[in-house]
Amino acid sequence: MNKPILIVDDEPHVRLSYRVTLETAGLEVREANGAAEALGELAVSEFSLVILDMRMPEMDGLDLLETIRQRGIDVPVVIITAYGDVPHAVKAMKLGAIDFLQKPLTPEGLRQIVWDILARHAAPEPSKPTNPPGFEVHLEAAKRFINLRDFPNAREHIAKALEIRNDSPDAFNLGGVLFEMQEDYDRAKRYYGQAIRLDRNHEAAQQNMRRIYELFHFGSSNEPFHLGEE
Protein backbone atom coordinates (compact mmCIF):
# COMPACT_ATOMS: atom_id res chain seq x y z
CA MET A 1 0.00 0.00 0.00
CA ASN A 2 1.32 3.42 -0.90
CA LYS A 3 2.18 5.80 1.91
CA PRO A 4 0.16 9.03 2.10
CA ILE A 5 1.35 12.48 1.10
CA LEU A 6 1.57 15.19 3.77
CA ILE A 7 0.59 18.76 2.82
CA VAL A 8 1.99 21.42 5.16
CA ASP A 9 0.53 24.92 4.72
CA ASP A 10 -1.01 27.42 7.13
CA GLU A 11 -3.75 28.43 4.67
CA PRO A 12 -6.78 26.06 4.72
CA HIS A 13 -7.94 26.91 1.19
CA VAL A 14 -4.47 26.13 -0.18
CA ARG A 15 -4.41 22.76 1.57
CA LEU A 16 -7.88 22.02 0.21
CA SER A 17 -6.82 22.89 -3.34
CA TYR A 18 -3.74 20.65 -3.15
CA ARG A 19 -5.79 17.84 -1.55
CA VAL A 20 -8.45 17.90 -4.26
CA THR A 21 -5.79 17.98 -7.00
CA LEU A 22 -4.02 14.92 -5.62
CA GLU A 23 -6.97 12.91 -4.35
CA THR A 24 -8.65 13.12 -7.76
CA ALA A 25 -5.45 11.52 -9.09
CA GLY A 26 -5.96 8.59 -6.71
CA LEU A 27 -3.43 9.62 -4.04
CA GLU A 28 -3.98 9.52 -0.27
CA VAL A 29 -3.43 12.90 1.39
CA ARG A 30 -3.11 14.20 4.94
CA GLU A 31 -2.80 17.81 6.06
CA ALA A 32 -0.88 19.83 8.65
CA ASN A 33 -1.50 23.52 9.36
CA GLY A 34 2.07 24.24 10.44
CA ALA A 35 5.33 22.89 11.81
CA ALA A 36 4.06 21.51 15.12
CA GLU A 37 1.27 19.52 13.51
CA ALA A 38 3.58 18.33 10.73
CA LEU A 39 6.20 17.09 13.18
CA GLY A 40 3.48 15.30 15.11
CA GLU A 41 2.29 13.55 11.97
CA LEU A 42 5.84 12.61 10.96
CA ALA A 43 6.53 11.21 14.44
CA VAL A 44 3.73 8.63 14.21
CA SER A 45 3.32 7.93 10.48
CA GLU A 46 5.42 7.37 7.39
CA PHE A 47 4.83 9.45 4.28
CA SER A 48 5.90 9.06 0.68
CA LEU A 49 6.27 12.83 0.22
CA VAL A 50 5.93 16.13 2.09
CA ILE A 51 4.62 19.17 0.20
CA LEU A 52 6.01 22.05 2.23
CA ASP A 53 5.20 25.75 2.00
CA MET A 54 8.28 27.93 2.47
CA ARG A 55 6.58 30.80 4.29
CA MET A 56 4.59 29.96 7.43
CA PRO A 57 4.20 31.67 10.81
CA GLU A 58 6.03 30.45 13.95
CA MET A 59 8.41 28.15 12.01
CA ASP A 60 8.97 28.62 8.29
CA GLY A 61 9.31 25.77 5.84
CA LEU A 62 13.09 25.86 5.77
CA ASP A 63 13.41 25.58 9.55
CA LEU A 64 10.85 22.77 9.52
CA LEU A 65 12.80 20.94 6.83
CA GLU A 66 15.99 21.29 8.87
CA THR A 67 14.22 19.89 11.96
CA ILE A 68 12.88 16.98 9.91
CA ARG A 69 16.40 16.12 8.77
CA GLN A 70 17.84 16.55 12.27
CA ARG A 71 15.35 13.92 13.45
CA GLY A 72 16.66 11.50 10.86
CA ILE A 73 13.58 11.58 8.64
CA ASP A 74 14.62 11.27 4.99
CA VAL A 75 11.18 11.70 3.45
CA PRO A 76 11.29 13.40 0.03
CA VAL A 77 10.21 17.05 0.15
CA VAL A 78 8.98 19.45 -2.51
CA ILE A 79 9.16 23.13 -1.58
CA ILE A 80 6.34 25.51 -2.55
CA THR A 81 7.34 29.16 -2.60
CA ALA A 82 6.22 32.48 -3.98
CA TYR A 83 9.56 34.07 -3.11
CA GLY A 84 12.79 34.17 -5.09
CA ASP A 85 14.87 33.78 -1.95
CA VAL A 86 18.39 32.76 -2.99
CA PRO A 87 19.82 31.70 0.40
CA HIS A 88 16.70 29.65 1.16
CA ALA A 89 16.97 27.78 -2.12
CA VAL A 90 20.61 26.94 -1.46
CA LYS A 91 19.98 25.69 2.06
CA ALA A 92 16.93 23.70 1.01
CA MET A 93 19.03 21.90 -1.60
CA LYS A 94 21.68 21.09 1.00
CA LEU A 95 18.91 19.50 3.08
CA GLY A 96 17.98 17.27 0.15
CA ALA A 97 15.06 19.24 -1.32
CA ILE A 98 15.86 19.76 -5.00
CA ASP A 99 12.26 20.02 -6.19
CA PHE A 100 10.62 23.45 -6.12
CA LEU A 101 7.29 24.81 -7.35
CA GLN A 102 6.44 28.49 -7.48
CA LYS A 103 3.01 29.89 -6.69
CA PRO A 104 0.54 30.14 -8.27
CA LEU A 105 0.51 26.42 -9.04
CA THR A 106 -1.46 24.70 -11.73
CA PRO A 107 -3.09 21.36 -10.86
CA GLU A 108 -1.19 19.78 -13.77
CA GLY A 109 2.15 21.09 -12.50
CA LEU A 110 1.52 19.83 -8.97
CA ARG A 111 0.38 16.40 -10.11
CA GLN A 112 3.32 16.04 -12.49
CA ILE A 113 6.02 16.81 -9.94
CA VAL A 114 4.33 14.58 -7.35
CA TRP A 115 4.22 11.65 -9.78
CA ASP A 116 7.84 12.28 -10.77
CA ILE A 117 9.05 12.25 -7.15
CA LEU A 118 6.98 9.20 -6.18
CA ALA A 119 8.34 7.30 -9.18
CA ARG A 120 11.88 8.39 -8.33
CA HIS A 121 11.64 6.98 -4.80
CA ALA A 122 9.53 3.90 -5.54
CA ALA A 123 10.85 0.57 -4.32
CA PRO A 124 12.78 -1.17 -7.11
CA GLU A 125 11.12 -4.07 -8.86
CA PRO A 126 12.52 -7.59 -8.22
CA SER A 127 15.70 -8.08 -10.22
CA LYS A 128 15.29 -9.65 -13.62
CA PRO A 129 17.30 -9.73 -16.85
CA THR A 130 17.08 -6.34 -18.50
CA ASN A 131 18.90 -4.02 -20.83
CA PRO A 132 21.49 -1.62 -19.37
CA PRO A 133 19.83 1.41 -17.73
CA GLY A 134 19.09 4.24 -20.13
CA PHE A 135 19.58 7.97 -19.88
CA GLU A 136 16.32 8.75 -18.05
CA VAL A 137 16.90 5.95 -15.53
CA HIS A 138 20.33 7.34 -14.64
CA LEU A 139 18.97 10.90 -14.39
CA GLU A 140 16.13 9.90 -12.05
CA ALA A 141 18.51 7.76 -9.97
CA ALA A 142 20.83 10.77 -9.63
CA LYS A 143 17.93 12.91 -8.41
CA ARG A 144 16.96 10.25 -5.87
CA PHE A 145 20.51 10.00 -4.51
CA ILE A 146 20.75 13.80 -4.32
CA ASN A 147 17.51 13.81 -2.32
CA LEU A 148 19.14 11.29 0.01
CA ARG A 149 22.36 13.35 0.05
CA ASP A 150 24.29 10.34 -1.26
CA PHE A 151 26.61 12.41 -3.44
CA PRO A 152 29.02 9.68 -4.67
CA ASN A 153 26.18 7.61 -6.13
CA ALA A 154 24.52 10.72 -7.55
CA ARG A 155 27.75 11.68 -9.27
CA GLU A 156 28.15 8.20 -10.73
CA HIS A 157 24.68 8.26 -12.27
CA ILE A 158 25.13 11.77 -13.70
CA ALA A 159 28.40 10.64 -15.27
CA LYS A 160 26.68 7.63 -16.82
CA ALA A 161 23.82 9.80 -18.08
CA LEU A 162 26.33 12.11 -19.76
CA GLU A 163 28.12 9.13 -21.32
CA ILE A 164 24.82 8.32 -23.04
CA ARG A 165 23.86 11.91 -23.89
CA ASN A 166 26.58 14.51 -23.58
CA ASP A 167 24.30 17.11 -25.16
CA SER A 168 21.67 17.06 -22.39
CA PRO A 169 21.12 20.40 -20.62
CA ASP A 170 19.10 18.58 -17.94
CA ALA A 171 22.05 16.35 -17.04
CA PHE A 172 24.49 19.28 -16.91
CA ASN A 173 22.04 21.30 -14.80
CA LEU A 174 21.69 18.40 -12.36
CA GLY A 175 25.47 18.12 -12.20
CA GLY A 176 25.53 21.80 -11.25
CA VAL A 177 23.02 21.15 -8.47
CA LEU A 178 25.17 18.29 -7.17
CA PHE A 179 28.32 20.43 -7.06
CA GLU A 180 26.46 23.37 -5.54
CA MET A 181 25.17 21.15 -2.73
CA GLN A 182 28.78 20.17 -2.03
CA GLU A 183 29.77 23.88 -2.02
CA ASP A 184 31.94 23.42 -5.11
CA TYR A 185 30.53 26.60 -6.60
CA ASP A 186 33.05 27.04 -9.42
CA ARG A 187 32.25 23.60 -10.85
CA ALA A 188 28.53 24.23 -10.30
CA LYS A 189 28.81 27.43 -12.35
CA ARG A 190 30.54 25.59 -15.18
CA TYR A 191 27.87 22.92 -15.34
CA TYR A 192 25.04 25.45 -15.26
CA GLY A 193 26.87 27.38 -17.96
CA GLN A 194 27.11 24.33 -20.19
CA ALA A 195 23.40 23.60 -19.71
CA ILE A 196 22.65 27.16 -20.85
CA ARG A 197 24.98 26.88 -23.84
CA LEU A 198 23.08 23.76 -24.90
CA ASP A 199 19.70 25.39 -24.31
CA ARG A 200 19.53 29.13 -23.76
CA ASN A 201 15.90 28.80 -22.63
CA HIS A 202 16.61 26.21 -19.92
CA GLU A 203 14.82 27.99 -17.08
CA ALA A 204 16.17 25.90 -14.20
CA ALA A 205 19.78 26.36 -15.32
CA GLN A 206 19.21 30.09 -15.82
CA GLN A 207 17.79 30.44 -12.30
CA ASN A 208 20.59 28.37 -10.81
CA MET A 209 23.25 30.41 -12.61
CA ARG A 210 21.68 33.66 -11.39
CA ARG A 211 21.73 32.32 -7.86
CA ILE A 212 25.45 31.52 -8.14
CA TYR A 213 26.25 34.98 -9.49
CA GLU A 214 24.13 36.70 -6.85
CA LEU A 215 25.82 34.77 -4.07
CA PHE A 216 29.42 34.88 -5.18
CA HIS A 217 29.79 37.28 -8.15
CA PHE A 218 31.90 34.85 -10.15
CA GLY A 219 33.62 36.05 -13.30
CA SER A 220 33.24 34.76 -16.84
CA SER A 221 32.27 31.19 -17.52
CA ASN A 222 34.88 28.50 -18.08
CA GLU A 223 34.65 25.53 -20.41
CA PRO A 224 32.90 22.49 -18.90
CA PHE A 225 34.84 19.44 -17.83
CA HIS A 226 33.93 15.80 -17.35
CA LEU A 227 32.54 14.50 -14.03
CA GLY A 228 35.53 12.22 -13.68
CA GLU A 229 37.98 15.11 -13.64
CA GLU A 230 39.72 16.17 -10.46
Model pLDDT for residues 32-43, shown as the tens digit of each residue: 999 999 999 999
Same domain membership, residue 159 and residue 102: no
Confidence (pTM)? 0.73
Same domain, 150 and 112: no
What is the separation, in whole angstroms, between the first and last Cα of the chain?
44
Domain extent at residue 69? 5-120
Indicate if the pLDDT at residue 131 is higher than 80: no
Which residues, in sequence order, are CB contacts of 128 under 8 Å at separation 6+? none
Could you tell me where the beta strands, DSSP code E, fall in the chain?
A: 5-8, 29-32, 49-53, 77-81, 99-102
| pLDDT (mean) for 151-176 | 95
Cα dihedral sign, 85-90-93-99:
positive
d(Cα 65, Cα 43) in Å, to the nearest integer?
14
Pick the last residue of a domain from 89, 120, 151.
120
In 3D space, the residue among 103, 101, 35 whose CA is nearest the CA of residue 68 turns out to be 35
Per-residue pLDDT band for 188 (boundaries 50, 70, 90) equals very high
- CATH number for position 181: 1.25.40.10
93 and 167 inside one domain: no
